[in-house]
Structure 1
Amino acid sequence: MDSNGQYEQRIVWTVVDTGIGPLLLAATRDGLVNVVFHATGAVRGRALERLAARLGKEPVDAPGSPLLTEAIRQVEAYFAGRRHDFDLPLDWSLISGFNREVLRELASGVPYGSVVGYGDLAVRVGQSGAAQAVGTAMGANPLPVVVPCHRVVGSDGGIGGFGGGVDTKRQLLALEGVLPEPLF
């Protein structure tokens, strides 16, 4: 506890191996706060530095924390095809405003095995014509996979961009049965 008798905000993290490579999972007492793709070496180090700078505390490697243990269980079940959605508390403190509104709609309104266009998602949050802003929100998503930005695609049928790389997006969509499995 701190001097005011309040529990200090603590950031815990771990890395879980998945079918798309290692994911860094970070949490606060409020919930899962960050998921980072390709979390080895320098990528992991930069992600932890960004978290410390944004949240004002040094992240602690704590794979045994109850929230991270449950997050690992759910992520592993998702990649094994046994889980279609996540039931974890989320800490939205790394994102705000329009971006948070769009990501919350995505998390609650675009189920496993389906996709939505950038423009359609803009309409859902009452901002028709804001497809580019939705794309920006997807790129700013601090909780990819759990908040499924991979399910947002171009209205022209194109796959769109993805912070984890287009190949990773294809793998996630194939896992969910939206795309055929890549041949090689």
Structure 2
Amino acid sequence: MSEDRVEKFLTTAEAYSRALREGWEHIGSLQQHEDKMVVWIIGLAAGAVIALLAYIIDVNRTPQWALLLSLGPFVLAVVAGVAYRLVLAEVMERDMLFAAKKVHALEALKFRTFEGAEGSDQLAREVLAIMDDKPDTLAKLKYRLDRIQRVANRLRFMPYTLFALGVVIAPVISVCLR
């Protein structure tokens, strides 16, 4: 009876491990897509700054408040985009480390011996603890990942919002100054 239970938990751990691998591959591709989008918005905002300075605004005759209002959102979009990209790279690195540690912990259970009712209970506790991120190493990694993820979530829409704001403000100021 207990050997069946041990086998059941090992099968569950293996299926969970496989699902983690597939899930994190998908998450990795989504994070790479997000990174590419941020690169685009940084490029567009930087291009807008160059275009405004070169073609639209006469820097010598334009009041400073108008320069700040028209260029500000684009410059801030570039800064926020670079900051978000740096944080996103850290999230991706920590996310992959966490996934690898979790899969490693599940795979390591296969090499341990669990005999009798006591052993199957211990295996059950360990599998459930790994799934719930309870072991110390996983809990610490999860905590760090969650902290950096919160920062990334706060920065996520900043570059896009600032760029959109610049797209609205710059033409209005440009038209008003003519």
Same fold (TM over 0.5): no
TM-score norm. by structure 2 comes to 0.24
Larger helix proportion of the pair: 2
Larger strand proportion of the pair: 1
TM-score norm. by structure 1 comes to 0.24
Greater relative contact order (Cα < 8 A, sep 6+): 2
Higher alpha-carbon Rg:
2
